[in-house]
Amino acid sequence: MKTVSAIKEPVKADHLSQRYAMVHTQAIITQLEENGFYLSDSGQRRTQKRNPNSAFHFARMRHENFREKNGTHPEILITNSHDGTSAVRFYTGLFRYVCANGLVIGKFFQPISVRHTADAEGQALSAAKEAIFNAMESARRIEVFRSRILSPIEQNQFVDQVSKKFYDGRMGRAILEARRQEDASDDLWAVFNRAQENIVKGGVRGVTVDGKPFTSRRIRGASSGITINRELWDLAESFL
């Protein structure tokens, strides 16, 4: 796993006041590891104007006793920064092994936020436990998605909304093309996963508003990926 300087060697940004309390992501990770969690992935935002050791970053945590369900593993996503741009936040997440995509639950479970104050690390550990509980509940939500079959008309409506939300109305049914046989069914979970993987990985052909062909780009930024995944989950929820 790559080294994330904002986690390993955190630095408080110079412009922050004395009242701003550092919340060390590594300390949270260590406490979670002592309670049966493990770090599965991490990364940080690229920055040129400020110290990268203060940058917005993320860590993905899973519990060693939680087993995958229907190819999907519940997890929590921790985001933090040391430059004053972000509180410590815990998002309910799902990780799907088959396509190595991380999914972040949207409005069904709101992210838990902890401000940079005196007892923030203690609060963060409690928040992490709550987020893990939410992750398990979100895994149960998958069965609800699986039971909802989308008609061809509804799938077209799903595509139209995805296209308007992420591509300015320029993407067609190619966004729902299956990259593997197990995603080829018409239930909402399969449709959601096809769209999610194609949006995140890119390489899908569309047409601009001027009628020119284009190919979608891979989503690489941590914060962009979180936003897109949450918005797509919320869109899928609207079809229940």
Q: Is residue 144 predicted with pLDDT exceeding 80?
A: yes
pLDDT given for residue 1 in this prediction: 60
pLDDT given for residue 240 in this prediction: 95
- Tell me the two tokens of residue 9: 């060697």
Could you give the C-alpha distances from 210 to 158, 175, 206, in angstroms and in order? Answer: 23, 19, 11
Q: What is the DSSP string of 137-192?
A: HHHHHHHHHHH-BPPHHHHHHHHHHHHHHHHTT---GGGG--SSGGG-SSBHHHHH
Q: Could you report the per-residue pLDDT of 81-133, keeping only the tens digit for each?
A: 999 889 999 998 888 776 666 777 877 788 899 999 878 878 888 898 888 88
Q: Could you report the per-residue pLDDT of 205-230, keeping only the tens digit for each?
A: 877 767 778 888 888 766 677 888 88
% of the chain at pLDDT higher than 70: 92
Greater confidence, 208 or 135?
135
Could you give the C-alpha distances from 36 to 13, 25, 31, 92, 225, in angstroms and in order? Answer: 32, 17, 9, 17, 27
Q: Is 171 exposed, middle or buried (0-12, 13-18, 19+ CB in 10 A)?
A: buried
- Residue 75 binned pLDDT confidence (cut-offs 50, 70, 90): confident
Greater confidence, 154 or 69?
154
pLDDT given for residue 48 in this prediction: 66
Q: Is residue 154 predicted with pLDDT exceeding 90?
A: yes
φ and ψ of 156, to 5 deg: -65, -40
Greater confidence, 233 or 10?
233
Over residues 14-28, the mean pLDDT reads 85
